[in-house]
Amino acid sequence: MKKTGAQIVNECLVQEGVKVVFGYPGGAIMPVHDAMLDYPIHHVLTRHEQGAVFAADGYARTTGDVGVCIATSGPGATNLVTGIATAMMDSSPVICITGQVAAHLIGGDAFQEVDVTGITLPITKHNYLVTSADQLAEVFKEAFFIARSGRPGPVLIDICKNAQVEEAEFDYPKEISLPGYKPPKHADMNLLEDAAKMIGEAKRPVILAGHGVLMSGAMEDLRLFAEKTQTPVAMTLLGLGSIPASHPYSLGMMGMHGEAYCNQAIQNSDLLLAFGMRFDDRVTGHLRTYAPRARKIHVEIDPSEIDKNVEVDVPLVGDLKTVLEDITPIVSPKDNEEWLDQIKEWREETEARDILSWPDEEKLHSAHVIRDFWQKTGGDSIVTTGVGQHQMWAAQYYQFEQPYKFITSGGAGTMGFGLPSALGAWFANPDKEVWTVEGDGSFQMSLNELATVVQEGANIKILLINNSYLGMVRQWQEFFFDKRYAATPITGPDFVKLSEAYGVPAKRVTKSGDMENAIEFAQNTPGPVLIEYQVEKEESVYPMVPAGAALDEMIRRPITQKKASS
């Protein structure tokens, strides 16, 4: 059966179960958009191509399935680059479809011609340049397979305009086999036995749970392993939700802005079990001083991550869920109560420093805002964030009991991610309560997507932390640059009026006593709502591990006397 290349693109998307794509049209991709009108695919018109790829990323992270975005050639394609890099750093399965000039014009500097496959080669798991329609079906089958298999990641398909209008026979492959690409499932049995022996000998073990726990769907396997071996679980930023925050073995978040007691546990451990994490520098602190007395077991599906940053004693290359299913039956039950009691002491000392213990002086602190938000939503919302201080406060004070509830840019740290990723998360979960926690700097990078949210009738709630600074950079300037606030004070519009101009109801909170009904107002108002919190301007995120310091050499908040109970 012959079809145009544009029709074949849409046929392939339907075959892969795609129901929604996020994008922006243009001349070089117009045939695909035209053909899409005849297929059961909903196109979401974002207000910027970067918003499209962020939305596809948010869709993917909440479902584990592939998110799809589409853009035209030239500036349309290059506007996807930051989002593609974000997805690559965080192993998010995204398919990016771009238009390209006709094949015979390539290399001639035609209108809106850019070598987007060359540009994105370092930031995609794979990419394709399609020059004829008869290539499309096999390319799409391979692209979806590559994006979602093994360690997931973004794949870009650049389609010349002639390939969209010419006809070809359409026969979608049922299976795909790529020579040399065989993502591992099971780790070597001898190494599993070595790991089990090492686990049995450990007195102070800590599990480091990363994004791979969620990507492999290994949450229950992780819990069973932790309970059998009495091993506490520290989580990376993207690993939050791997184990419920309320679980007695949960240590919360590790790293630069992680819980102090969590970092102390890692530094004093004698065995680290790295589950689906890559020893990022924000997690380790100075490598020479990282967990100096700990042996290390690394479970990782991507063999290139083994020994890349931290040398390990036992590498277990395979799918995390499968590896845990294989190793849990052969480890012996453990009694680590003495170690857990030590961590409990460190936890109590950490809690004594927490800002939640400070007296209520009607000042509006960001930590109080996030904790009130968590309590009012029952911890059951999908929460996306931008990047900055508000991101860290959300990670610290919103207690995630379930997986796939926290969507944020980790490895790339991409500002502007919050609102468009919430749009993607809502399309994937229209029956869920979706919030985005934004900062006034990050929000201003993508607030044009308010128009998209309104056009689509997306029920997204926006919690805006406004401290009139680029807060995280300002914090570094306070600590390390003698409070020389260079290029960090930031003005903004009247966010309430701006939201209302877009058709989004909004409310402003300026002191702690006004917080009471703000979240309920958003929850009880149909459609999108914005709540702006004008918080203390020079607050800092604690603890903080300075650059070049050991993980437990943290700048910590001073202990403040708790408010006496009446």
User: Radius of gyration of the chain from Cα atoms?
Assistant: 24
Q: How does pLDDT run along the chain (566 residues), one tens digit per residue?
A: 899 999 999 999 999 999 999 999 999 999 999 999 999 999 999 999 999 999 999 999 999 999 999 999 999 999 999 999 999 999 999 999 999 999 999 999 999 999 999 999 999 999 999 999 999 999 999 999 999 999 999 999 999 999 999 999 999 999 998 999 999 999 999 999 999 999 999 999 999 999 999 999 999 999 999 999 999 999 999 999 999 999 999 999 999 999 999 999 999 999 999 999 999 999 999 999 999 999 999 999 999 999 999 999 999 999 999 999 999 999 999 999 999 999 999 999 988 888 887 766 788 999 999 999 999 999 999 999 999 999 999 999 999 999 999 999 999 999 999 999 999 999 999 999 999 999 999 999 999 999 999 999 999 999 999 999 999 999 999 999 999 999 999 999 999 999 999 999 999 999 998 898 999 999 999 999 999 999 999 999 999 999 999 999 999 987 764 443 33
Peptide bond into 543 cis (omega under 30): yes
Q: Would 189-346 and 355-534 be classified into the same CATH topology?
A: yes
Q: What is residue 68's three-state secondary structure? A: strand
Work out the end-to-end distance of the chain between its first and last CA atoms, rounded to an integer number of angstroms: 79
Element at 351 (helix H, strand E): helix 337-353
**What's the rounded Cα separation, in Å, for the pair 155 and 260?**
38
* Given 141, 161, 321, 405, the catalytic residue: 161
How big, in percent rounded to 5, are the helix, strand and coil portions of the chain? Answer: 40, 15, 40
Provide the 10 A C-beta neighbour count for residue 38. 10
Question: 206: helix, coil or strand?
Answer: strand
Catalytic residue among 472, 515, 544, 554: 472
At the second CATH level, the architecture of 2-169 is 3-Layer(aba) Sandwich (3.40)
Question: Which is catalytic among the residues 15, 112, 342, 523?
Answer: 112
Query: In the CATH hierarchy, which top-level class contains the domain 355-534?
Result: alpha beta
Residue 502 · residue 448 · CB < 8 Å: no
Residue 296: helix, strand or coil by DSSP?
strand
- Catalytic choice (2, 111, 189, 516): 111
Angle between helices 81-89 and 49-63 (to 10 degrees): 20
In this predicted structure, what is the pLDDT of residue 560? Answer: 60
Compute φ and ψ for 431, nearest 5 degrees. -95, 0
In which residue are the tokens 């109590």 written?
348
- Answer whether CATH 3.40.50.1220 is correct for domain 189-346: yes
Tokens encoding 484:
């020389």
Q: Are the C-beta atoms of 408 and 241 separated by less than 8 Å?
A: no
pLDDT, residue 368, reads 93
pLDDT of residue 357: 75
Q: Are 530 and 462 in contact (CB under 8 A)?
A: yes
Give the CA-trace dihedral at 414, 415, 420, 426, to 10 degrees. 80
Q: Which residue has the tokens 């451990």?
A: 269
Does residue 112 have an active-site annotation? yes
Q: What is the dihedral of CA 93, 444, 255, 536, to 10 degrees?
A: -150
What values do phi and psi take at 126, rounded to 5? -165, 155
**Environment class of residue 514 by beta-carbon count within 10 Å: exposed (0-12), middle (13-18) or buried (19+)?**
middle
Q: Which 3 state secondary structure label does DSSP give 205? A: strand
CA 131/CA 102 separation, integer angstroms: 8
Q: Measuring CA to CA, which residue among 99, 97, 31, 37 is closest to residue 69?
A: 97
pLDDT at 562: 45
Domain ranges of the chain: 2-169, 189-346, 355-534
- pTM here is 0.97
Alpha-carbon gap, residue 556 to 436, rounded angstroms: 28
Catalytic residue among 3, 11, 36, 49: 49
Place of tokens 């399965």: 93
Q: What's residue 226's pLDDT? A: 98
DSSP lists the bridge partners of residue 263 as: none
The CA-based diameter of the chain, rounded to the nearest angstrom, is 80
State residue 360's pLDDT score.
Answer: 67
Instruction: Count Cβ atoms below 10 Å from residue 195 Cβ, excluding itself.
Output: 25
How long a stretch of residues is the chain?
A: 566
Instruction: Identify the residue whose tokens are 């398919």.
Output: 95
- Which regions of 399-466 does DSSP assign to beta strands (E)? 406-407, 434-439, 460-466
Q: Are 193 and 323 in contact (CB under 8 A)?
A: no
Task: Using the structure block, give the residue that is written with the tokens 């702006």.
Answer: 532
Q: How far apart are CA 187 and CA 150, in angstroms?
A: 14
Angle between helices 320-327 and 189-201 (to 10 degrees): 60
167-169 vs 2-4, strand pairing mode: antiparallel
Q: Residue 133 in 3-state DSSP?
A: helix
